[in-house]
Chain A
């Protein structure tokens, strides 16, 4: 079980904060209070600067922009926060968790450990590499890497400067995680001491060099583990880029359970352990004080029976020891130490102290939850016996009630002391359980008191009579209290009920109960009565002076009374009247003083009311503004919605037009393709025919070539024959010559024909080539057309797709806007209910003020 403490921030000038900031703190469960209550010391998280000296020991939270963190103030200034962004959701969530304590930024931003990564840096030379690792992760997660890089670089330098002097082989544990909202980095390092001056300003590097690169920085020191943790966060929202916060947290824990020294600043506690704030050493000191009183009783009694006792002022510790040798319980005497001895001597010497201590012990053992006793108990905790004595001495007048019978040593008490068994618990003494249960009781009692007060207010508001058992029931049902504590609770409730009953009587008389006004009226009545009496007396005096015979005074004795430098001669009777008059005047003066005081209180209350009303009005104005803003936003959202719907319609129309045109184009393209196909078919046929013709000409050419070769061979043969038979056949030469001529002419003719044919073939070949080229061109054109057709269809498809995506986007935007509208409506509803509530409160306050 962990005890939830009320969290407070001490601020003297709350007006300087904006309503948003105040409400944000309130929503975090932090109360901003201008009054410092030392009893609730542990509940104060911070004091905001310009605090009164009362809260000067509290860690200071700065809300003003600072360019540099003043190192000289580090022992005091432990946090800085830019309040202008506190109302933004990511900032509020983060700060809320921070103020609650016991949270880890890494766990908070990791999506169930899926996006958690860790690296260990064990060498100064590798800083760059690991900085890159973190920065690249941030880049992938789409965060502003500029700031993260600078922060990591400077922070690593800083960490190494801290760790280098202590450890030869070390490790910086770097853990980082991220979500859509933020990127968190945590660096852990060993650090022997938390000395802000030294550790936060290591040579050449300080926290100033890097904290402003991050949106949130928390430097926590864990004393027991000698560990320093630097946590930092960057928000994804670019609007929050300028937000900056810094917290220095030192967490001290108990090393061993028996050692008491728990001091937790900033409410960061171990959630798994119950941490009641114990009143350190109170129980021990209380026991000592009781024992000292018992010794003092014994010695005083002993000295009474002693013949010629030593003077109390001359008593020395040795004498006390000597007296206590006769003390019946020697086990108690064994606990005697120097402090106890000197306190016993003081008790014997100083009767007033003795009376005060006796009264305190007496009351503390009988009275439960008496505010005086509680106050003294708080004051004397953690004090030495001498200091305790001084405190009690200063409060003797409060402790010793004249009407009450004071506990003094008597025979019975001394007899009880001497006859008692060897058990300290038999004697009346301050209730001191185990110190932890004392602390637990303290926590519980405050809790109980709070609950009771709440319940009384509730019951009063419903115009019911208070019944003790009802409250008891409520309280016991709501708080689990052990049986041994019940009697204390009951007594406290009874005390409260007694008060409340008188108040309820006053209510019956006046219907409404306003304590200040009631007193004032009462006092006025009294003064009025007194004035009346005074006037009557004056008249009486005047009458008597005028007619002295009317008074039957046998022996008028003259006396001289000096008053304000004047000498008057008056009779005894006059003197009595005068004295009575004086008394009355004094009473009136006192009454006037009281009245003035009451008036002051009243005026103060009025001022407070005015202030509260002003604040409420401001709040109302801000709420109205918010409402107007929200309404305008809703209108804007509706307009946006309409616009988007119109866009959607136009895009749908465009889409249909595009579809139609695409259909037309497709149809045309089919026609063209068919025509082109036909042309290509015709060309192909032409080509085939020309190819066949070319083949034919080729075959003809081939036959002619064959024939030509045969003729050439024949001609060659004939020439040979001619040369062989030239001599032998001179006469038939003419006939052969003719033959030769005929053959040569025939040859020429063949040759000419051959040339003509070859020319024809070449022409046909060229024609063939030309047709081939044409066919190829057609084919190319066809393919181009086909391609262009394909391309155009693809382009259309793309257009179609893009249009569809745009439509989808628009739809998504519309749904988002709708959600936003819904959310805004909800907010509006909440705000309006709040306004009505505030108006109701305002009315109540108005009533009260009037």
Chain B
């Protein structure tokens, strides 16, 4: 390829804007970029993507690097995805990135992999195929160009309208310039919907299982935002999951907001909450033990 052609293409890409969406809105034909710093959020979004694909009877393929395929199966199972059953019947394939590429690395390698998977899914009778991959294979000095080449070549695969892809970019691994290219070369970007995002606190929507996730330190100053997030989960989710496993501190005011949200649920609905010991103690003081619809479990560390 002529150097000037590649340079021109890179310059064009800077002007493009990707459309931000949420994981639950992705459908066949979408090619989305997900950037993340938090492994738990990445796993949540991947779980939701997998779950939606399985429900639609599509084939789902995950290329994983940070965790092994076996660990990924465990993580998915923890997030309400029937991964083992789906894998047993061949609908779900979990593969290590390096195994999939088998030395045929770089942009062409990944395009060939995608193309082969799409053809195989069709041959096996699936109406569509979803693929998600950790893009760590592109971490080299020429990563920006490799990704550009990949995304451009892969675009052709989407024209049949049966392929849906999320490319995952770990912010700890890619530099800011490469991430900017990644975002610009995709049709859409996917991230968890964040109600509050600061250095000390993150409140965001959790997709699998559905509810909210709060990490960091939470006090009365964000009580309104917390209640907004709880309210949205109450509207959208039959059973609310409140993931406080990465919440280090919560005050009495916010603890009360959570307990009150559970009290207000109608008898047929539940709130399942996962938390650390300090939060468990605060919930007990706030009367969580007397709320039948609220189930509190202590968080355990996953890999």
The reply to whether chain A is a binding partner of chain B is no
